[in-house]
Amino acid sequence: MKTRPFLVISLILGFSFLLSIALGAVTIPPGNALRILVGKLPWFEFSGDWPSYFETILLDLRLPHSILVALTGMALAGSGASFQGLFRNPLADPYLIGVASGAGLGAIIVMSIPQVGRYLIPLGAFLGGLGTIAAVYRLAKVGRMVPLTTLILAGVAIGSFTSALTSFLMLISDEMVLQAMSFLLGGSTVTGWEPLVIALPYFSIGLTLLVFGGHSLNVLQFGEEQAQQLGLNVERVKIFIIISASLTTAAAVSFSGVIGFVGLVVPHIIRLVWGGDYKKLIPLSILGGGITLLLSDIVARTIMAPGYLPVGIVTSLIGAPFFLWILRRAKKEVFW
Amino acid sequence: MKQTINPAVLQIRSLSANYGDVNALDDISLDVQQGEIVGMIGPNGAGKSTLIKVLSGVLNASAGEVLINQKNVNSYSPNQRARTLAVVPQARQLGGAFTVEQAVLLGRTAYLGFLGKPAREDLKKVAWAMKQTAVDSLADRKLAEISGGEQQRVLMARALAQDAPVLLLDEPTNHLDLRYQVNLLKLIKKLVKQEGLSVLMAMHDLNQVSGTADRVVLLANGKLKALGSPEEVLTPENIMQAYQTEIETFTHPNSNKHIIFPVE
């Protein structure tokens, strides 16, 4: 487990993904699911001894849903790990520092303007997230430092403020209420391939940029002063990380709502197991985030089947106690 | 004291700097030649750390200029500056999750690409730097698990890996026990001789300064009070003025070093 983290975590991700497309109101045996998928590739042909609606459910519903869920988890954990590195603060998380709520507000504002299409929702979320992080950073900064307490306080304050604005916007635009409500609870109610196609560029650009930032974050762990003395262009790097992490958070929020604790818990576990090197921590957190949200989503879809529980409720119910357990466990160990 | 016709590697000209309204550095002028160790002394708050911050570009000067190899440092990119000038900061609990080797490798930041993938040359330099500072046996230990003195040596190794001709040190012997204090000062002397480094080193122990530095600069209240050989600067008058402490000086019978002793 120590030696091949990428192999281990990729295998678990593949397994979780297969489980995610197989399980639901109708259970498709994972073997069949795999054969249906592989059979769609040009070089393979499998005779189907399964009902034909399996293919419809799998290809039109489950597959785009599971891909979106995996990407959302990846985005939240990847941006969480990057924010933690940027602020040198293990409690930074797109949810706790208010970026996710700000992105939610940005998305809602765009949704409440009737003329603009859903293609612009991620852009609104991106701008909302960026504005929030700028405000939180300015409020939290004491001298040259961003201490834990002020960061969380500023994040909570700005987060509550943007959430209140969001609620207000939802109340005054009544036809939007239902759509916005379910969206903000952190349940990806969007289905089919279309939202995925809109989301994909945001996710892929954001995640790639986050991985590129790993080395710079390593240098930043020794403080901005030393990072600059080591030759890092600190101001440029900070802007780069903030933009890429906000972009990724915005992509997640635009299509799946506000989902807490994935960005906090996943990088923690990865750091405990494989150490604090951001060149590894960020890609591993991204893969781990995919696993975590896929599994949470399975729970959300099956625990009240055929009803659907918003996945944000599941991640918070599992994530919050788990986080407390990590904190207790980590008291004696140095992992930061 | 060395006499040379070459222009100094590090030239500080009428440098001033403020923290808000506080004048932290006031009209400092100082040259450091190639192959020279300049020891910087002064009471707490004299401006030693501030001078290191301004020279390394962390703090802006309010007046004056700094030249390295006859070029104004403000014209250097962060990258170029780090290849020219390395800093050994005081050990603090930072980057505890990194291993010693990872931390020393960060000294190569200015040479690495954006993704930070080290080339063979970088790893060779890192291995050399760890060996020089005797931290090679700690390579896989985390910074949070090693002692303050060991951390200080890791920071020294990181600066050596930077491969810069100018080395600034901020009280490098602070956390070290006597053996490593002596070893570190020996190492600095050896590197200055071997590689022709130019060293500016803030220090507290006046006898260590006297035994190590070619020249000594005395700062107090942000002003340069004295500059010259240890014998010229470390006089009872200068020390009384800067530290309000009475000392006696004498010459060590074996080494001929200038020795400072506080009067009881």
Whether residues A334 and B145 touch (CB distance < 8 A) is answered with yes
pLDDT in tens, B209-246: 999 999 999 999 999 999 999 999 999 999 999 999 88
**Least CB–CB distance from A232: residue in B56, B78, B145:** B78
Q: Which two tokens stand for residue B251?
A: 């010459």
pLDDT in tens, B38-76: 999 999 889 999 999 999 988 889 999 999 999 998 889
* pLDDT band (50, 70, 90) for residue A334: very low
Q: Which residues pair with B258 in a beta bridge?
A: B251
Q: Which two tokens stand for residue A189?
A: 């109610």
Q: What mean pLDDT comes out for the span A88-99?
A: 80
Between CA A87 and CA A136 the distance in angstroms is 12
- A314: CB partners within 8 A, 6+ apart: A296, A297, A299, A300, A303
Whether residues B114 and A228 touch (CB distance < 8 A) is answered with no
Residue with tokens 């130019």: B198
Q: Looking at residue A146, what is its pLDDT?
A: 67
* DSSP-assigned letter for residue B3: -
- Beginning with the edge strand found earlier in the chain, give each strand of the sheet holding B10-19 in spatial order: B22-32, B10-19, B63-68, B71-72
Q: What mean pLDDT comes out for the span A42-70?
A: 81
Asked if the bond preceding A306 is cis, omega within 30° of 0, the reply is yes
Planar angle of CA A62, A63, A69, nearest 5 degrees: 85
Does the beta carbon of A30 lie under 8 angstroms from any beta carbon of chain B?
A: no
- Taking every pair of Cα atoms in chain A, the longest distance, rounded to a whole number of angstroms, is 68
Q: Contact, B180 vs B17, CB < 8 A?
A: no
- Chain A nearest-CA distance from B224, in A, is 25
Q: Looking at residue B252, what is its pLDDT?
A: 87
* pLDDT band (50, 70, 90) for residue A74: very high
**Least CB–CB distance from A334: residue in B53, B103, B142:** B142
Residues of chain B in contact with residue A277, where contact means CB-CB under 8 angstroms, are 97-98, 102
- A62: CB partners within 8 A, 6+ apart: A20, A21, A24, A28
- Residue A156 region by backbone torsions, left for phi larger than 0, else alpha for psi between -120 and 50, else beta: alpha
- Residue A195 corresponds to which amino acid? P
- A28: CB partners within 8 A, 6+ apart: A21, A22, A36, A50, A54, A57, A58, A62
CA dihedral of residues A41, A47, A51, A52 (deg, nearest 10): 50
**Least CB–CB distance from A222: residue in B79, B81, B95:** B95
* DSSP-assigned letter for residue A58: I
What's the length of chain A? 336
Between CA B39 and CA B216 the distance in angstroms is 5
pLDDT in tens, A247-266: 898 888 887 877 888 998 89
pLDDT in tens, A103-117: 989 988 887 776 766
Residues of chain B in contact with residue A276, where contact means CB-CB under 8 angstroms, are 97-98
Q: Which residues pair with A142 in a beta bridge?
A: A145
Give the residue from A156, A159, A104 showing the smallest Cα distance to A127: A104
- Chain B nearest-CA distance from A108, in A, is 36
Q: Which residues pair with B13 in a beta bridge?
A: B65
- Residue A293 corresponds to which amino acid? L
Does the beta carbon of A231 lie under 8 angstroms from any beta carbon of chain B?
A: yes
Whether the ipTM is more than 0.95: the answer is no
Residues of chain A in contact with residue B51, where contact means CB-CB under 8 angstroms, are none
Report percent pLDDT > 90 for chain A: 28
Predicted TM-score of the model (pTM): 0.85
Q: Which two tokens stand for residue B107?
A: 């000294």
Q: Looking at residue A336, what is its pLDDT?
A: 42
Residues of chain A in contact with residue B107, where contact means CB-CB under 8 angstroms, are 230
Q: Contact, A292 vs A123, CB < 8 A?
A: no
Mutate to test the interface with B, among A229, A238, A281, A284 (most CBs of B within 10 A): A229
Question: b/e map of A56-92 (b: 16 or more CB within 10 Å)?
Answer: ebbeebbbbbbbbbbbbbbbbbbbbbbbbbbbbbbbb
Whether residues B114 and A334 touch (CB distance < 8 A) is answered with no
User: How far is the first Cα of chain A from the last one, in angstroms, to the nearest whole number?
Assistant: 20
Between CA A189 and CA A64 the distance in angstroms is 12
Residue with tokens 């818990």: A265
From start to end of B128-197, where are the E strands? 166-170
User: How far is the first Cα of chain B from the last one, in angstroms, to the nearest whole number?
Assistant: 32
Report percent pLDDT > 70 for chain A: 85
Does the beta carbon of A280 lie under 8 angstroms from any beta carbon of chain B?
A: no
pLDDT at A219 over 70: yes
Between CA B190 and CA B133 the distance in angstroms is 12
